[in-house]
Structure 1
């Protein structure tokens, strides 16, 4: 009896420690796949049309922990060299000092500051968006598309869609507002995979 109690007293702290480690396991970190990731901006042009521009070549990491969502994080770099409106002259204008001034500020960055669950397969991701060296906090309403082994890459993968609305004038890119709308809708689709084994 005494021996049994001593064994229990020894095993109980070990079991609690193991449970504690499991409860706070590190999130899985995925590298963003730039070939299957796109950031799309849309705005109103004098109320007549709603042009879009794609921002590709996205680089970054997504860390996600379904058991402890608050430990999740996102860090992204978007080079303006990957921006494409499908109108060459307009691409040049967007990269000029009138707008992004890409020669001086070649990248847009986003770094999350807080992540929380928002229902089934939904997240709210707050973070610092930096454009032209101006940083503002934005909220991304995010949907988890799928987390599973990728059938082609044969490793763990994750997919997300997100959206937000920003005011471009908040970042010093407000030329021609309000005729060209100050508000810009941002839609994001991300595919990411765990790094290849060494």
Structure 2
């Protein structure tokens, strides 16, 4: 009897230790945005409207979570149709040849209360580079309407467009080399 109890106890612990939960981005309550400085004097903002994101976690505090994001670059929207068309062209994103922007994490380190430093590979415009992002887990609640468990996250970082050969014919100060990126929204437990 002791052996059966021991086996069941070990099986229970193993299930809890290795259980992973996946959280998917809720497109209706998530924004993927960026900003860049134009002519050294004005910040231009934009968003990507089509994306998929997931967070896979084995801990409730997301301390060792894995993050993935895939963005449809053609969904770029800066509020100016002519500028959006130029950004989709070979001068910048070259959407025809490079339609996706992909991030996949490879490490996550807790740096404070509900805050993490996440490192991973960012791929777009035919280039893959390591980047580090800051993640703030804002909390988890049950959505009163859908009854889904929902977690809020703010994910921010800065990349250099020169690292990805983006807009090489548009040097500083015409466009800043640094681009701030942000994913802010809700992820639903699957």
Kept in 2: contact 1:37–1:56 (CA 8 A): no
RMSD of the alignment, in Å? 2.0
Say how many residue pairs are matched.
188
Structure of higher CA gyration radius: 1
Q: Give the deviation of 1:32 after TM superposition.
A: 1.3
Q: Among 136, 142, 159, which residue is 1:166 paired with?
A: 159
Which stretches in structure 1 are left out of the alignment for 5+ residues? 1-6
The runs of 4+ residues in structure 1 deviating greater than 2 Å are: 7-22, 64-71
TM-score by length of 1: 0.85
Give 1 or 2: higher strand fraction.
2
Equivalent of 1:187 in 170, 179, 182 = 182
Query: In structure 1, how many angstroms separate the alpha carbons of the residues matched to 2:10 and 2:65?
Result: 24
1:140-151 mapped onto 2 (5 Å cutoff): 140-151=133-144
Structure 2 SS opposite 1:50:
strand
Instruction: For 1:158 and 1:65, locate their aligned partners in 2 and report how far apart those are by CA, in whole Å.
Output: 14
Instruction: Describe the SS at the equivalent of 2:98.
Output: coil
Please state if 1:41 is matched with 2:34: yes
How big is each residue's C-alpha offset from its partner over 1:10-30, in whole Å with a ceiling of 9 and x where there is no partner?
6456435533432x1422101
TM-score after normalising by structure 2: 0.89
